[in-house]
Every structure is written in structure tokens, then in C-alpha cells.
């Protein structure tokens, strides 16, 4: 492992990052509000750090490894450890900006629901992160999306992924439970 890889693993933060993820309208905001009421936490509006910014960059970097034209892109200039170290630095810079709003906080909460689709890149960049995945009965998510109507549009740029996630998850959910309810899991 290179020096950059070791630094990523050993650098400690003065707080514990907690990412709240889940499908839109699944209750992530409610969980964020409940947790943010504790005096040891700090949070902010959705940053979309991984679903808009770092996740797509990491996806392109990883795709370059599969490319026939492997000399194109930055992969041939930056080894994996150096690239991930740069992504980590940006992630920490954003988390530190949140932390600076309350430097006594022990937990920095980042709630961008669609980070759900970037759990691997999040773990690669921030191995110390806690991830809290809010799961709601898919029937409730769909009903809430319909009720919100034009207020949220078509779930934005990730609408296809969200709807696919609901279609895949709905049959499994039906087998596990007879009554709709929220489930929250931390990893």
C-alpha cells in the first residue's frame, strides 16, 4: 500500500461522520431532524457530495480501467491511492466546513438520500463513516411521491434508479412484512 493509502486509513477526525441515506420521501429528513436535536451533532442542508460530485468522478475513474483506450483519462497519471486520497481530501473539506459551524460536535451528519447509490465510493473515501440507511415500505414511498406531485418533480436526475430500486425492493418487502413501517439500519 502506498503512503497515500496509509494516510487515508490512519488520519483521525475530531468528529464521526454520519451519512443518512435512503430513497426520497422515505423519512431521511425526519431522522436527520431527530438526530440533529442532540447537542453533540451538527448537520446542514443536503450537500450531494457523492451523488453529484465525487461519485460520478470515481465512476469515470474506475471505468477508465475497463477502457480499451487505457492511455486516456487521468488514471494513467494518478494511481488509485493518489486519486482516492484527493477525493477524500475534498470530502473532508466539505465535512470540516459543516463541523466549523459547531466545533464541539462529536458527530457531523450529512443527509443526501441519493448517496444510497454511492455507498462503495463513500466507504472507499471515508472508511470511518457511519451510514444510516432509512428504509420505508415502498408502497409508502410511492404514495408520498404521488402526494408531493409537482413539488418534487420526477425525483430529479436519479429518477430511474429510484424507481428501479422501488420495483426491485417491493416484492422482497412484501415477503418480510404485512404492515407498512419504517426501518432504520446503521452500518
Q: What is this structure's pTM?
A: 0.77
Among 64, 68, 92, residue whose Cα is nearest residue 79? 64
The residues near 71 (Cβ < 8 Å, ≥ 6 apart) are: none
What is the C-alpha separation between 150 and 62, in angstroms, rounded?
A: 36
Kindly report the length of the chain.
187
- Please give the pLDDT value at position 145: 79
* Residues 130-159, mean pLDDT to the nearest whole number: 74
- Please give the pLDDT value at position 46: 95
Higher pLDDT, 121 or 66: 121
Q: What is the pLDDT of residues 78-109, one digit of tens each?
A: 999 999 999 999 999 999 999 999 999 999 99
Cα distances from 144 to residues 20, 140, 161, 172, 174, in angstroms, run 19, 6, 17, 20, 18
- The model's confidence at residue 140, banded by pLDDT at 50, 70 and 90, is confident
- The model's confidence at residue 172, banded by pLDDT at 50, 70 and 90, is very low
Among 57, 26, 50, residue whose Cα is nearest residue 173? 26
On average, the pLDDT of the chain sits at: 81
Cα distances from 17 to residues 14, 42, 131, 149, in angstroms, run 10, 10, 9, 33
Residue 72: CB atoms within 10 A of its CB come to 10
* Residues 127-151, mean pLDDT to the nearest whole number: 84
- Please give the pLDDT value at position 73: 83
Residue 108: CB atoms within 10 A of its CB come to 26
* Residues 24-51, mean pLDDT to the nearest whole number: 95
- Domains annotated for the chain, with CATH where assigned, are 15-186 (3.40.50.300)
Q: How does DSSP classify residue 76?
A: T
Amino acid at each position: 500500500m502506498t503512503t497515500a493509502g496509509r494516510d487515508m486509513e490512519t488520519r483521525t477526525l475530531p468528529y464521526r461522520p454520519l451519512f443518512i441515506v435512503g430513497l426520497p420521501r422515505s423519512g431521511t429528513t425526519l431522522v436527520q431532524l431527530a438526530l440533529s436535536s442532540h447537542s453533540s451533532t451538527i448537520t446542514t442542508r443536503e450537500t450531494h457530495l457523492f451523488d453529484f460530485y465525487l461519485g460520478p468522478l470515481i465512476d469515470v475513474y474506475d471505468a477508465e480501467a475497463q477502457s480499451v483506450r487505457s492511455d486516456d483519462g487521468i488514471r494513467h497519471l494518478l494511481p488509485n491511492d493518489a486519486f482516492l486520497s484527493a477525493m477524500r481530501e475534498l470530502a473532508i473539506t466539505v465535512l470540516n466546513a459543516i463541523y466549523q459551524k459547531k466545533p464541539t460536535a462529536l458527530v457531523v451528519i450529512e443527509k443526501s438520500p441519493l448517496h444510497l447509490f454511492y455507498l462503495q465510493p463513500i466507504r472507499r473515501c471515508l472508511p470511518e463513516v457511519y451510514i444510516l440507511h432509512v428504509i420505508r415500505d415502498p408502497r409508502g414511498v410511492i404514495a408520498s411521491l404521488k402526494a408531493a406531485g409537482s413539488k418534487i418533480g420526477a425525483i430529479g436526475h436519479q429518477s430511474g434508479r429510484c424507481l428501479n430500486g422501488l420495483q426491485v425492493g417491493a416484492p422482497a418487502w412484501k415477503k418480510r412484512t404485512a404492515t407498512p413501517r419504517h426501518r432504520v439500519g446503521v452500518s
